[in-house]
Copies of this chain bind each other. A is one copy, B any other.
Amino acid sequence: MSSTAPTRAVVLHAAKDLRVETLAPLAALKPGEVRVAMEVGGICGSDLHYYQDGGFGVIRLKQPMVLGHEVAGRIDALGAGVTTLAVGDRVAVSPSRPCGMCKYCQQGAQQHCLDMRFYGSAMRFPHIQGAFAQAITADARQCHMLAPGLTAAEGAMAEPLAVCLHAGRRAGPLLGRRVLITGAGPIGVLASLVARRAGAAEIVITDVADTPLVLAKKLGCDQTINVAKQPDGLQEFAKDKGSFDVMFEASGNERALTGAFDALRPGAIIVQLGIGSTFTLPINTLVAKEFELRGTFRFHEEFALAVQLMGAGLIDVKPLVTATLPFTSAVEAFELAADKTKSVKVQMTFG
C-alpha cells in the first residue's frame, strides 16, 4: 500500500461498540522505525475483555482505542538507519516496548518496565493504541523476521506463544514432569505445546467444552477431561498425596485452581496464567502441601524464541486457528472468538 493511503483500523469506543474506522495518516518514519503493512491479527482474551466489558479489574477503557497486539505483516518502508530489515520482509511484530533504562529493564525483567508501552492496552492514559490496522509504525527492534516457510497466520501467533514460553520458563525445568493444564483455550493449548516441547512426560488438560479438548488431544495431550461432564475427573490423580508436578492454570476460574489441589503432589508448582477477579483459596492446603503459586505476565526475550521455534519446526501452532475473517467483519470475528464451543483462536486478515 502507498504510504499516503488512508489506514483503516478496528477501534473500540466502549463495551460492545467496536468500529472499523479510518485513522489519521501515519507520521513520517523516524530513524530506527519501520512501517508494517499488516497481514494478519489474532484476537486475544484481553481484546475480548475490552470488547465485552470495556476492560478488566481496575483497567477500563477511557478513550477510543485501536485493539490488537497479535500481528504479523510485511515491511513496507524503512526509517533512516534500519539495516537489519528490508522492504518485503515478513515479520511478527512484538507489541512490547519497554523503556530499557528503568531498574526492571536493567535487571532483565522488561515485562515489569516502569514505562512500558504495550499495544492495545488501557493500563495507562492516554491509552497505547493497538495494531489491528492496515498499517502501523513500529520500531525495527519490534519486528522479528519469519523463517521462509512461515505464514503470516503463524507469525501472528508469536505473541500468545511467547506468553506461554514465558509461563513455561516460570515453571522451571519440565523434563519428565507430569503436567496438568486447566483451560483449553488458546493459552491452555499453547501451554500444552510448550510443556511437551520442554519435555513433559505426561500432560492432562481439562475444560468445560469438548471442542477445544478434541483439538488439545489431537495436538498431543495425553488425556483430556471435560470437568463439566466429569466433575470428579481428577480424583484418579489424588493417590499418595497427588500426582502432578506442575500445573498451568489457564482458565481464570477459581474452581479450576482449587479443584486441582488434591491432584497436585506436595511441592507442586502452579503457574497462574488466567486472570479473574478474586480467587478464594484453602490456604491451609497450600501451606501443608508446600505448593508454589506463581504468577506469569507477558514475556520479553520469549517473543524472539517463539519466532525461532516455529521457524525451526519445533512448535506447530497452525492447528489452533479455527477461523479467519476479514477485519472489516471485526464484530463478527469478536463474537465468534468469544464462543468457546466453536473457537480456539480467531484471526483477521488486513490485506
With beta carbons under 8 angstroms apart, the residue of B104, B290, B302 that contacts A112 is B290
The yes or no answer to A106 lying at the interface (CB within 8 A) is yes
Q: Are A294 and B292 in contact (CB under 8 A)?
A: yes
Q: Are A112 and B267 in contact (CB under 8 A)?
A: yes
Minimum Cβ distance to chain B for residue A158 (Å): 13
Q: Are B283 and A114 in contact (CB under 8 A)?
A: no
With beta carbons under 8 angstroms apart, the residue of B201, B284, B295 that contacts A290 is B295
Minimum Cβ distance to chain B for residue A235 (Å): 17
Chain B residues with CB below 8 A from A292, complex form: 292-295
Q: Are A305 and B101 in contact (CB under 8 A)?
A: no
Q: Are A289 and B284 in contact (CB under 8 A)?
A: no
Residue interface mask A112-127, B partner, CB < 8 A = 1: 1010000000000000
With beta carbons under 8 angstroms apart, the residue of B110, B165, B278 that contacts A282 is B278
Residue interface mask A30-57, B partner, CB < 8 A = 1: 0000000000000000000000000011
The yes or no answer to A288 lying at the interface (CB within 8 A) is yes
Q: Are A287 and B266 in contact (CB under 8 A)?
A: no
The yes or no answer to A142 lying at the interface (CB within 8 A) is no
The answer for the CA separation of A289 and B296 in the assembled complex, in Å, is 8
Q: A105-B106, A106-B100, A108-B108 are in contact. Are A176 and B279 (CB under 8 A)?
A: no
**Majority-rule SS of A interface residues:** mixed
How many residues on the A side are at the interface (Cβ–Cβ under 8 A)? Answer: 68
Q: Identify the closest chain B residue to A175 (Cβ).
A: B198
The answer for the CA separation of A303 and B110 in the assembled complex, in Å, is 22
The answer for the CA separation of A246 and B174 in the assembled complex, in Å, is 17
Q: A199-B197, A296-B287 are in contact. Are A302 and B109 (CB under 8 A)?
A: no
Quick check: which of A73-81, A225-233, A269-277, A327-335 contacts chain B, the rest being far away? Answer: A269-277
Q: Which of A176, A201, A280, A292 has the most CB of B within 10 A?
A: A176
Chain B residues with CB below 8 A from A111, complex form: 290
Q: Are B275 and A284 in contact (CB under 8 A)?
A: yes
Q: A173-B173, A176-B302 are in contact. Are A289 and B295 (CB under 8 A)?
A: yes
Residue interface mask A55-71, B partner, CB < 8 A = 1: 01100000000000000
Minimum Cβ distance to chain B for residue A83 (Å): 17
Scan residues 184-199 of chain A and give those whose CB is less than 8 A from a CB of chain B: 194, 197-199
Q: Are B104 and A266 in contact (CB under 8 A)?
A: yes
The yes or no answer to A168 lying at the interface (CB within 8 A) is yes
Quick check: which of A5-13, A88-96, A307-315 contacts chain B, the rest being far away? Answer: A307-315
Q: Identify the closest chain B residue to A258 (Cβ).
A: B278
Minimum Cβ distance to chain B for residue A244 (Å): 15
Q: Are A176 and B281 in contact (CB under 8 A)?
A: no
Q: Are B281 and A279 in contact (CB under 8 A)?
A: yes
Minimum Cβ distance to chain B for residue A69 (Å): 16
The yes or no answer to A336 lying at the interface (CB within 8 A) is no
Q: Are A286 and B272 in contact (CB under 8 A)?
A: yes
Q: Identify the closest chain B residue to A168 (Cβ).
A: B175
Q: Are A175 and B201 in contact (CB under 8 A)?
A: no
- What are 21 A-B pairs with beta-carbon distances under 8 A? A100-B101, A100-B106, A105-B106, A106-B110, A109-B266, A169-B173, A169-B175, A170-B290, A176-B309, A198-B199, A201-B305, A201-B308, A202-B312, A254-B283, A275-B283, A276-B283, A277-B283, A288-B297, A290-B294, A292-B294, A293-B294
